[in-house]
Amino acid sequence: MRLGLRVKVNEDQYICTVNIGSHTGTLKYLFRRSTVREQRPAARIIIADDHLLFADACKSLLEPEFSVVAVVTDGRQLADAVGQFKPDIIILDIYMPGLNGLDAGEQIKQKIPRIKLVFLTMTSAADVAAEAFRRGASGYVLKQSTGEELRLAVRKVNRGESYLSPLIAKETVSSLLNNGQRLSEQKRITKRQTEILQLLAQGLSMKQVASEIHVKPGTVAFHKYRMMETLNISTNAELLGYAIKHQMISP
């Protein structure tokens, strides 16, 4: 009697073929390979949006696939949360009190380049999307998108890819990025002046702004009038218009 044995190893099993005389039999799954699959920890996410109900809904949508470690409502809270929770991804709106999302995201990327930014916003303008990518965004999703689209965007960004909502013309954004044009003027105001302008545009008085950023009212006045001089602006209404045009506050 002739006895033959052949073993084929697949990815997750052994297949054993036995020949006994003229009879052949195949034993599958008889020997199961012991595999230990390495479980990667879920990506850590911070959500920054001043509409708390919307932010909480996003948190529920993303968990448990991702680990939402914090929800904050303005740019300053976001900066503090980044240091405390060490996220992999930040999902943030553009319009937020204290410090807008574009400036907050840019500052975070400069300090911690590994963090990925996904902007989740109502703004579908291609020039704003281009500015977001120019400042370090990996993803740009519109709030009118589906929950599944947001999850898809976060998955892609987590894998090191980029994502742009299909509701925005990709060619237009690419053209704007290639041109290298920024939303802001060539004579850019300083970061401190930008912060002051945003607070003033939100309706705070110079005294309230001074209290908010811990400086004297005279310092706020100095920066305000230097801004107006730099931008060739002569009225508060023009200053407000500049803030709206450059996405510092919502219109």
Residues 167 and 198 occupy one common structural domain: no
What's the first-to-final CA gap in the chain, in angstroms? Answer: 90
Cα–Cα distance, 231 to 246 (Å, whole number): 13
The CATH number that applies at residue 218 is: 1.10.10.10
Domain assignment present for residue 37? The answer is no
Domain boundary residue among 153, 179, 205? 179
Beta strands in 101-210 (DSSP E): 116-121, 137-142, 163-164
**Model pTM greater than 0.85?**
no
The pLDDT of residue 236 is above 90: no
Residues 52 and 95 occupy one common structural domain: yes
Residues 195 and 81 occupy one common structural domain: no
Angle at 82 between CA 207 and CA 216, to 5 degrees: 15
Cα–Cα distance, 100 to 226 (Å, whole number): 21
pLDDT in tens, 48-107: 999 999 999 999 999 989 999 999 998 889 999 999 999 999 999 988 887 889 889 999
Structural domain boundaries, residue 98: 44-179
Task: Tell me the pLDDT of the chain averaged across its residues.
Answer: 82
Residues 204 and 156 occupy one common structural domain: no
pLDDT in tens, 148-207: 999 999 999 999 999 999 988 777 787 767 766 555 444 577 888 888 988 998 889 989
Residue 131 is predicted with a pLDDT of 86
Ramachandran bin of 70, using left for φ above 0, alpha for ψ from -120 to 50, beta for the remaining angles: beta
